Chains A and B, each alone.
Chain A
Amino acid sequence: MEYQYHTASEMLALTRRHNLSVSELILAGEAELGNGDREALLTRMLDYYRRMKASVAAGLEITERSRSGLSGGDSRRLHAHSSGNRVSALGQAFERSISYGLAVLETNAAFGQIVATPTAGSAGIAPACLLTWQEARNASDETASRSLFAAAGIGKVIGYGACFSGAQGGCQAEVGSACAMAAAALCELDGGTPEEVVQAAAIALQNTLGLICDPIGGYVEAPCMMRNGLYTLHAFGAAAMALSGICSIVPFDEVVGALREIGEKMPRIYKETAEGGLAATPTGLRFRPRPRMVPPSP
């Protein structure tokens, strides 16, 4: 096996040895594992990217609140605001990026179709970042979707070294991973070297460490939706910092180690159980689901 790795430092060594971008290394690695040839892999990722864009579009159409009453209609609100005369000083793309992240989670809460990236609760960040990038750069779906292989390359390192599950590692494992993956994709799209791609991921991930998973009522809606919106901005910021030559003090592999350690030591009440944090506030408690009704057999 020529293209397999478990850590970012191994991954970087392989990109240097084979003179490949992170995306191209991942593509070669998948083909080596027998998961399909290059064309089939690119086509499948293009399909996934178009599904991601569809999940953004579907969310922007939602006007009703979800069954729990915790979300719905907010992405549309912000998207409309981004075209108005009170748009943020940071511009339209700033607001749209957030609205796209919100939109995917609204689609998700409405039992709509999304692509888990890496999980459903963090599925908005990568699509929002890539769609915003694509609109700003006037690029093709093919170009944008290819960067998802770089995102997956960073995701693998986190999967090997830590985990993606809120129940095991808190929100840092879900939103943090998604943010690092999106930052890596953005960095590569804007011409970053493999070293800069890994720096972008390191900067993004360390800025999410400690984030707890405290879903109100146990639903994948609040604060998940807000985080999917706002962490798109972290991903853009981290990619820009890496491209400017800023380096994380702690290398990516060690940041992943910190993610794991924090996840392991994080109290259970902050790991998707809805027993702590925002879920346990007086307002949060009002959204607790009623005791379960067993559905009758038809």
Chain B
Amino acid sequence: MSLSTFEIIGPPMVGPSSSHTAGACRIAWAARQLLGGTPEMARIGLHGSFYATGQGHGTDPAIIAGLLGFHPDDIRIKDSFAHAAREGLHFEIGEIDLGPHAHPNSVELDLRRKDVALTLRAASVGGGSIQIQQIGLFPVDIRGALETLIFWHLDASGFLARITAVLACVEINVASIRTSRFERGEHALTVMEVDGTCPADLLSVLGRMRSLERMVRLPRLPGF
């Protein structure tokens, strides 16, 4: 682990709580990127302290704001429910029990947009830092301090080699790779952190790879 200056000084945010407000907004902002746009329907399950003390800390409007693409320092966060109504984002917020081992500030998001459905689980781990822990049924560890590429694909030999070969051609350095699958040859998820920013034409090349079902670029989270 290597801490950067702007993880300590920052993020710029609206109050009142770095974990309950800024972190909550960042989780939802990341989820919106993974979905590909503003959801039409969002079911939000708040676990532990997120549910118990979230209301006084603006956790609910912060999550809705993130789903709308607002950054943690956006003064519209407190009015996000009204913006959601205008943007056609329907949502339900309730309590969820993710078990005794879940971080006290955890959330499960169940999102739908056009023909894409996405479920993810994440925690706000302090000071506005977050960790996405699960996408669908796949365990992940996404912190958002680096640009992250997420590939939904079929488990096929050579898949990672093709990606890394393309990245190598344009000298993009890979910081981490994690692939999860349940059965050989079945659906898999690959999460790759890179240094710097992937140019759009590179993404277009990657998007044409065999065995790829869907690909998303998650930029560095706002404030990183």
Contacts of A160 in B (CB 8 A): 1, 3
Q: From DSSP, what is the main secondary structure of chain B's interface residues? A: mixed
- Does A120 contact B22, Cβ atoms closer than 8 Å? yes
Cα A35 to Cα B10 in complex, Å, equals: 15
- Does A218 contact B56, Cβ atoms closer than 8 Å? yes
- Does B16 contact A148, Cβ atoms closer than 8 Å? no
Interface residues of B in 63-114 (CB under 8 A from A): 73, 75, 77-78, 81, 84-85, 90-94, 104-105
CB nearest to A66 among chain B residues: B16
B53 contacts A by Cβ under 8 Å:
yes
- Does B8 contact A155, Cβ atoms closer than 8 Å? yes
- Does B78 contact A111, Cβ atoms closer than 8 Å? yes
Choice from A111, A289, A295 contacting B60 with Cβ under 8 Å: A295
- Does A119 contact B78, Cβ atoms closer than 8 Å? no
Contacts of A149 in B (CB 8 A): 5
Nearest-CB distance from A127 to chain B (Å)? 10
Contacts of A112 in B (CB 8 A): 14-15, 75
Cα A293 to Cα B95 in complex, Å, equals: 11
- Does A119 contact B127, Cβ atoms closer than 8 Å? yes
Choice from A30, A68, A118, A293 contacting B127 with Cβ under 8 Å: A118
B49 contacts A by Cβ under 8 Å:
yes
Contacts of B4 in A (CB 8 A): 30, 33, 35
Contacts of B5 in A (CB 8 A): 26, 30, 35, 41, 45, 149, 152, 156
Interface residues of A (CB under 8 A from B): 4, 26, 30, 33-35, 41, 44-45, 48, 51, 67-68, 107-121, 126, 148-149, 151-152, 155-156, 159-160, 163-165, 167-168, 181, 217-221, 272-274, 289, 292-295, 297-298
Interface residues of B (CB under 8 A from A): 1-19, 21-22, 49, 51-58, 60, 73, 75, 77-78, 81, 84-85, 90-94, 104-105, 125-128, 195-196
